[in-house]
Amino acid sequence: MSEEKGEYRGKATMEKITSLAKRRGFVFQSSEIYGGQNGAWDYGPLGVELKNRIARAWWKEMTQLHDDIAGLDAAILMHPRTWEASGHVENFTDPLVDCKKCKTRFRADQIPPENLAQKKCPECGGELTDTRKFNLMFKTHIGPAEDSAGAIYLRPETAQGIYVNYRNIVQSNRMKIPFGIAQIGKAFRNEIVTKNFIFRTCEFEQMEMQYFVKPGDDVKWFDEWKKRRWAYYEKLGVKMDSLRWHRHGPDELAHYAKDAYDIEYLFPMGWRELEGIHNRSDYDLSRHAEYSGKDLKYIDQDNNERYIPFIIETSAGLTRTLLMILCDAYDEELVPNEKNPGGSEGSAGSADDWRTVLRFHPDLAPVTAAVLPLMKKDGLAELAEDIRAELKEDFTTGYDQAGAIGRRYRRQDEAGTPFCVTIDYQTKEDGTVTLRFRDSMEQVRVPRAELIERIRREIKQYKRG
């Protein structure tokens, strides 16, 4: 790896990502002052912006750009029969073993087979319990009595909310097959091992789209959705050589699946699933028809046919995508010390400098433009506030007037802000500002009146270098 000026590509590690996420207010441990809650995380000021933007980009892709996909926001609490019909009560389990000595809990399929065979703890050598099945659904009670009649689950996936509304949406929106239903929402799983930061958590968010097709057309649509989902990540500016396909072998296929592919991302800890694309056959609607006693056949009036549709599912984790975007955007490089061409500040030494930069697509960046007055004095701060007020209606803005300009650029780089707008003495004279680009660190002077249009154009034309 070269450490020549500007060429070094620093590697993201989970430690660096976790620490940056906390330092800059992307992600905090849940209830940290009490020692933290396993499997739960809080999204801070920059994190919630990033998460909302990732969700918005997905929603736009699925609904705004596809006339044949309708949106939905179903409740987390569903009728308990849902989970019997879906197969979750019976099948949504992990094999679990505990160490009697050190009390560590393991997923039996994630420890070396010889340890399992000898019942020997891989951590301390103590004796392991028998393997037992552990259901990942969170169970709670609705109503005042804690009896089994009031038992209810926190949904472990958003998909079932779509299936139980399939008939409502066909009827209310006169949807014709093929069509899809998209939903973003929370899901809960009692995961045994929750390491790697927000990769696998007990509370998380999913972005799922279920596409209803005529039986026989499923293979064609499955291929089509695989192509579309791949192209989507390209559009988001993700490093495409960090993505790959993984096809589920016969042992991996879920009980409902006819065929399944994962899009995997090369996270710092290795290749891991980011999104699943599944051919779920007619399993879901057939089961809900059986368990609810309702007729869920689609009536194709044009061709005088009735059938239970097949379902092609695209299922991505929103919070897991956020981790992917953080890792993908992360970069470290050795760059020349930056100054503002119009100003005198920042000239203290011209030594090279390391910078950490998050190369978010500008559509995803939590702050689009940061406004920086070169000096607080001589009316520059007031002028900067004034320009910021103009930008606010169109963009999320930041403001920073503390310290040398070069250091302020570094702070914005680390937050992933694609554009800095610097106000200096020339601004007072001729009404131009310095527009500084995060990725190239290039600076151009732009008349104040053209600033909004220019930023808008730069966002639309953005290509990751």
Q: Where does this chain bind ligand ATP (CB under 6 A)?
A: 157, 189, 191, 200-201, 204, 206, 273-276, 315-317, 319-320
Residue (of 50, 52, 18, 48) closest to 36 by Cα position = 18
Residue closer to ligand ATP by CB (options 189, 438) is: 189
For 196, other C-beta atoms within 10 Å of its C-beta total 18
| Cβ-contact 260, 249 below 8 angstroms | no
CB 299 within 8 A of CB 309: no
What is d(CA 71, CA 81) in angstroms, rounded to the nearest whole number?
24
Q: Which helix (H) or strand (E) holds 233?
A: helix 218-235
Residue 191 or 223 with smaller CB distance to ligand ATP:
191
As a whole number of angstroms, the distance between CA 59 and CA 62 comes to 5
Tell me the H-state helices in 30-121: 45-59, 81-85, 88-91, 113-118
CB of 318 to ligand ATP, least distance (A): 8
> Which residue sits closest to ligand ATP, CB atoms considered?
317
E strand or H helix at 329:
helix 318-329
- 213's tokens: 């097709």
**Length of the chain measured in residues:** 465
Smallest gap from residue 29 Cβ to ligand ATP (A): 15
Cα distance between residue 61 and residue 345, in whole Å: 44
Reference 365, options 82, 43, 51; nearest CA is: 51
In the complex, the smallest distance separating the C-beta of residue 416 from ligand ATP, rounded to whole angstroms, is: 22
CB nearer to ligand ATP: pick between 198 and 374: 198
Decide whether 272 or 388 has the Cβ nearer to ligand ATP: 272
Least spacing, CB of residue 420 vs ligand ATP, in Å:
33
Beta-strand ranges (E) seen in 352-453 are 352-358, 369-373, 397-399, 419-423, 432-437, 443-447
Looking at the Cβ atoms of 189 and 408, the one nearer to ligand ATP is: 189
Angle at 59 between CA 55 and CA 63, to 5 degrees: 175
- Residue 194 CB, nearest approach to ligand ATP (Å): 7
Compare residues 138 and 399 and give the one whose CB is closer to ligand ATP.
138
Question: Measured on CA atoms in the order 100, 104, 105, 110, is the torsion positive or negative?
Answer: negative
Closer residue to ligand ATP, CB minimum distance, 312 or 405? 312
CB of 200 to ligand ATP, least distance (A): 4
- Nearest-approach distance from CB 135 to ligand ATP, in angstroms: 13
Q: Which is nearer to ligand ATP, 279 or 319 (CB)?
A: 319
Least distance from ligand ATP to the Cβ atom of residue 216, Å: 25
The residue among 315 and 340 lying less far from ligand ATP, judged by its C-beta, is: 315
> Shortest gap between Cβ of 402 and ligand ATP (angstroms)?
37
> Is the CB of residue 158 less than 8 Å from the CB of residue 48?
no
> Where do we find the tokens 């009735």?
306
